[in-house]
Amino acid sequence: MIQERIMQILRAGGNVDYECGREAAKRHIAEGNPGVYDTFPALVKVFGPDWVNGYFEYRNAWAVLNRP
């Protein structure tokens, strides 16, 4: 994430970690690998709870909207 985007999130009163997680989910979906972290056991320890919440909330919403 670039500094300009981080400042934009902060000015809006957002949570940078949460937004980073959402953007990572968007990137993984665009790359065709939305389940990349499904079996990773230590996500919260590595990225933090806000990042994980942002990631999985976005990814799960995408999965619901794109059911076969």
pLDDT tens for residues 50-65? 999 999 999 999 999 9
Round to whole Å and give the CA distance between 14 and 68. 33
Q: Max CA-CA distance within the chain?
A: 39
pTM of the model: 0.87
Q: 10 Å Cβ neighbour count for 60?
A: 12
Taking each helix axis from N to C terminus, what angle separates 16-30 and 3-11, rounded to the nearest 10 degrees? 130
Structure confidence at residue 6 (pLDDT): 87
Which residues neighbour 57 within 8 Å (Cβ) at sequence distance 6 or greater? 22
Name the token pair of 11: 């000015």
